[in-house]
Amino acid sequence: MKNIVILISGEGSNMEAIIRAAKVQNWEKNLQARVAAVISNRPSAKGLGLAQHHGVTSQVVDHTTFAIDTNPREAFDTALIKEIDQYAPALVVLAGFMRILTPMFVAHYQGRLINIHPSLLPAFPGLRTHQRAIEAGCQFAGATVHLVSAELDHGPILAQAVVPVMEDDTPESLAARVLTQEHLIYPATIAKLLGN
């Protein structure tokens, strides 16, 4: 059985969708993989409790504890790699993970590191995507699953989902509509990548 490691920072709803897909008995939707561990850079991430509820090992690598290091980002990423590699994962999945990763980290997992970003890339890389899409007058928004490369939100696109932007949308209402689609395309893309 292949291992997946999921990195989170917050709610963990995408993480939960992936854990569920790994568990379902229906062979058509099953991932044929095991979520070996969930790792958060924030001790307060709600997703940690959710992982525990599903019986998945969860850990914290708190990025703030590396702040005094001469190169805090490399030090954090090195610590993260040490934890992740214990599980020899076929795939490392960013699910609402909010720390930019160094080129060293990205190279270490080349071809097996993926992210879901809440916009139709290449539009709106970076943060506050829903507010920016509304402000730009976009009629459609969505989410993108992509391979992670050293340049932020610029790796090869693996899948996208499109939703309409409504006239009275707030960033929150648009985010919720996009999120329901994320929960569908992320597990499906992972299944495909793992050869199912």
Catalytic residues: 117
How far CA 69 is from CA of 65, 75, 76, 123, in Å, comes to 9, 7, 9, 34
Q: Could you tell me the smallest distance in angstroms from the CB atom of residue 153 to ligand NHR?
A: 5
- Cβ closest to ligand NHR, residue 91 vs residue 94: 94
Question: Which residue in the set 75, 79, 106, 134 belongs to the binding site for ligand NHR (CB under 6 A)?
Answer: 106
Stretch of 44-52, 97-105, 167-175, 188-196 lying at the interface with ligand NHR (CB under 6 A): 97-105
Gap between the Cα atoms of 187 and 120, Å rounded = 18
Closest CA to 37 of 87, 105, 95: 87
For residue 181, the minimal CB distance to ligand GAR (Å) is 10
Please give the full DSSP string across 18-53, using - where no structure is assigned.
HHHHHH---TTT--SEEEEEEEESSTT-HHHHHHHH
Site for ligand GAR in 161-190 (CB under 6 A): 179, 182
Nearest to 165 by CA among 147, 177, 149, 155: 177
Q: Note whether 81 binds ligand NHR by CB under 6 A.
A: no
Select from 29-37, 77-85, 151-159, 173-181 the region that touches ligand NHR (CB under 6 A).
151-159
Nearest alpha-carbon partner for 127 in 151, 155, 99, 148: 99
Segment interacting with ligand NHR, rule: CB under 6 A, options 12-20, 47-55, 147-155, 160-168: 147-155
What residues pair up with 40 in beta bridges, in sequence order? 8, 60
Place of tokens 């992740």: 84
Name the binder of 120 from ligand NHR, ligand GAR, none, CB < 5-8 A by kind.
none
Query: What is the CA angle 61-62-66, rounded to 5?
Result: 105
Q: Which is nearer to ligand NHR, 58 or 144 (CB)?
A: 144
| Spatial separation of the C-alpha atoms in residues 17 and 147, rounded to whole Å | 19
- Least distance from ligand GAR to the Cβ atom of residue 68, Å: 25
Q: Among residues 86 and 175, whose Cβ is nearest to ligand GAR?
A: 175
Residue nearest ligand GAR by beta-carbon distance: 96
* Contact footprint for ligand NHR (CB under 6 A): 94, 97-101, 106, 115, 117, 126-127, 148, 150, 152-153, 155
